Amino acid sequence: MTIKDFLFAVINFVILFGALFLITRKMIVRMFKERKEKIAQDLEQSHQADLESQRLSTDVAQARDQARQQEDALLAETRAQVERSSREAEKLRTEEADALRRNAIQTEKQLRSQMHGQVSAQVIRQVASQAGETLKTSTFAPERQALVERYIEQVKEVVAAMPSDILNMNELKKLNISIASPEPLTDEEMKKVTQILCETFLSVRNEVDDGLVGGVRMQVGDTVYDGTLAHQLDRLSQEVEFNSRMDDQEELSVLESIREKLSGTDNSIDVYQTGKVISVSDGICHVSGLADVMAGEMLEFEGSLRGMVMDLDKNNVGVVLLGDFSTIQEGDTVRRTGHIIEVPVGEAMCGRVVDALGRPVDGKGPIQNDGFRAVESPAPSVLHRQGVTVPLQTGIKAIDALVPIGRGQRELIIGDRQTGKTAIALDTIVNQKGKGVHCIYVAIGQKESTVANVVRKLTELGAMDYTTVVCASASEPAPMLYIAPYAGAAIGEYFMYKGKDVLIVYDDLSKQAAAYREISLLLQRPPGREAYPGDVFYLHSRLLERAARLDEASGGGSMTALPIIETQAGDISAYIPTNVISITDGQIFLETGLFHSGTRPAINVGLSVSRVGGAAQVPAMKQVAGRLRTDLAQYRELASFAQFGSDLDASTQATLLRGQHMTELLKQDQFAARAVEDQVIAIFAANEGYADDVDLADMPRFEREAVEYVKQAMPELVDTICAGKKIPADMLDKLRETLKSFKETF
């Protein structure tokens, strides 16, 4: 390579390098500048990261300190909570122990009382038996002779011809008279007795029965004139066994009790009529004799069993047995009591659970009643009644607004099983707390567990203090189910005729009608429609007619009846439902479909009615709920047609929307009663359309908050409603403005 070529190559390289330098200089400068800026930015970020790390370290330290402080505070609070819980648990244990101790003391007293009565009865029976054996000895022969002579002298005053004896004399021209005594009467004694009876009676004979101990017992037809020692000792034993002792005598010894009973025994002649059991089956028996017995009279059987006369035939009477009849046999003696079947009544019945005869079944000891009242009593006269004008608030919006109930009214609750009939009745009872209304709940043919749950719930809510529960459970004989409603009505009438207000619930009368049908068929009465006897209408009419509101001259009391009827598959045209509907002043019909769809109470507005109407509503409720029934009925009708088409005009859509919100507003949980002023405010707000744009799920909150807002803003409105006055027009305008301002904040 020559020098020329070398120089040429060098020159070319220099030229090429210069050209490249000129071309890439700006790019290189920019690249180095960007790199420098990036390095500076990275350095700045690194510095910021260091600062952030320091700040985070500080925050972590602070958080650690705060966590330690919170931990210490939490531990301290936990210790305090544990101490409070321990104190509360100790207090609760102490209260439970005190309650158990009180229950144990009460149970011990009850057991002592029961044992005292049982021991007294046993000792009395043993003493009576020993006394009878002792009095049979020859030592007491003069006393026995004196007893016979005294009987002959006294029988002149008491012997008389009964109507049945006169009938037998007219038909048979003869009447058998037997005179029983432990020893044969002398000729002189028989002559004296015959002289007393010869004017009327024939065929007198003397029967010797050494079991009579002393004295004489004479039977004329069915009537017994008993002056024997054996009878007096037997009645003494029964009195100790069946009569409850007074509270101030509970500490008496058995010996003092016997001495007390013996000192009260008199030697007068006991006059009564007897009969003989000729057949018994399924709680029904037929008794011969007892020709003068009354319909509905209580009879005494051997032991503690009682019966009620239902049928009067020429040769025998039909009796329903009120209790366990397994010990009754053919040939047993039956004794008349002389009075219609009755139950104990009084203030002490409040808070107690009793059976159909008024006997306590709650284990709280005997009831100190104020007297007795016949279960079958006549209804108040038309002249002593007054109209139903005073509302009886149930606390249920759908009822108080649509089918109001007044004091003295008879409002039927009807529907299929498991539709909430009992729930409405219990809600009504609970809502009477503090309102001076005595409540009676008659459970007919229900399970004992169901009745126990009802009593427990009423006790928890404080409603048993003014409530009496009459229980005729499903395990009891049909006669007990039959008379239970009448017994409840008799207990309620005691308060009504004293000028007080009473609410009575019959749950339910369908089972009473079935029990009456069973009794009638066993008594061989001719069956009618659905095998019910012909007087089944009278069965319920004479019961429900006893509910009334008395005028001021008769005390001004009232008894409101809520009978319950169970239907089959919603058939309200069956025999018993139609009968009771025709007797009552309206009905609340509960529908199964509504219940299962979540509408509770499941009241069918179209079939439910109150024949008292607005007379049983407070004026404010009548004012705001006047068109509610019509609107709901129109909504139900449109809702059924709207299912078949989607092209609806604006008016129909507005009606459906209003109906949906109103239906949602009327829903209510059990035992969640609403005061009447709260109901008026809520219904007015929904009627005026303030809830139309509220979500259905928010309706309970809307109701609750709207009522509270209005009550705080307008206390005078609450006073007006509670005073039973209509709401003035200016107050209605103010209420609209108040609801409008509430709606802006909702």
Residue ranges of alpha helices (H) inside 692-728 are: 699-713, 715-722
Contact 220, 177 (CB under 8 A): yes
Report yes or no: 588 and 608 within 8 Å, Cβ to Cβ. Answer: yes
Residue with tokens 């209790």: 323
In CATH, the architecture of 270-341 is Beta Barrel (2.40)
Quote the CA–CA distance of 476 and 117 in Å, as a whole number: 25
Tell me if 422 is assigned to a ligand binding site.
yes
Q: Please give the structure tokens belonging to residue 588.
A: 């609340």
Total Cβ atoms within 10 A of residue 77: 11
In this structure, are residues 630 and 657 in contact, taking their beta carbons and an 8 Å threshold?
Answer: no
Please list the residue range(s) of the chain that carry CATH number 3.30.1330: 138-227
Residues marked as catalytic: 611
Residue 217 β-bridge partners: 180, 226
User: In CATH, what is the architecture of 386-617?
Assistant: 3-Layer(aba) Sandwich (3.40)
User: 36: annotated binding-site residue?
Assistant: no
Q: Is 420 annotated as a binding residue?
A: yes
Closest CA to 707 of 731, 732, 681: 681
Instruction: Give whole-number Cα distances, 213 to 183, 187, 627, in Å.
Output: 9, 20, 82
Instruction: Report the chain (746 residues): mean pLDDT per 10 consecutive residues.
Output: 76 78 73 80 82 81 82 81 79 73 68 63 68 71 74 69 64 66 75 65 64 74 74 68 45 49 59 88 88 89 88 89 88 90 93 93 88 93 92 93 94 94 96 94 94 94 95 92 96 95 95 94 90 93 95 93 94 92 94 89 89 87 86 82 72 85 91 92 91 89 92 92 90 92 87
Determine the topology of domain 138-227 in CATH: 60s Ribosomal Protein L30; Chain: A; (3.30.1330)
CA distance 226 to 564: 49
CATH 3.40.50.300 placement within the chain: 386-617
CA dist 226 to 29, 40, 131, 219, 268, Å?
A: 145, 132, 18, 8, 9
257: burial class by Cβ within 10 Å (0-12, 13-18, 19+)? Answer: buried
410 annotated ligand binder: no
Pairing verdict, β 284-289 and 270-281: antiparallel
Are the beta carbons of 632 and 656 closer than 8 angstroms?
Answer: no
As a whole number of angstroms, the distance between CA 43 and CA 290 comes to: 123
- Residue 379's pLDDT is 94
Pure H helices in 136-228: 141-158, 163-172, 187-197
Rounded CA-CA distance 175/202 in Å is: 6
Beta-strand pair 270-281/333-340: antiparallel
Closest CA to 278 of 264, 289, 291: 289
The set of residues, in sequence order, having a beta carbon less than 8 Å from that of 604 and lying 6+ positions away, is 589, 590, 591, 594
Number of C-beta neighbours around residue 539 at 10 A: 21
Q: Is residue 333 annotated as involved in ligand binding?
A: no
Look up residue 408 and give its amino acid: G
- 628-745 architecture in CATH? Up-down Bundle (1.20)
Q: Is 339 left (phi over 0), alpha (psi -120 to 50) or beta?
A: beta
Integer Rg of the chain from CA: 44
Rounded CA gap, 689 and 293, in Å? 68
Question: Binding site annotation covers 418?
Answer: yes
Give the pair of three-digit tokens for residue 538.
């009278």
Structure token digits, residue 650:
């604006």
Domain(s) labelled CATH 1.20.150.20 in the chain stretch across: 628-745
Does 417 belong to an annotated binding site? yes
Structure pTM? 0.75
Going along 332-389, which residue ranges are E strands?
333-340, 342-345, 353-354, 371-374
The response to whether 397 counts as a known ligand-binding position is: no
* Residues 293 and 339 sit within 8 Å (Cβ to Cβ): no
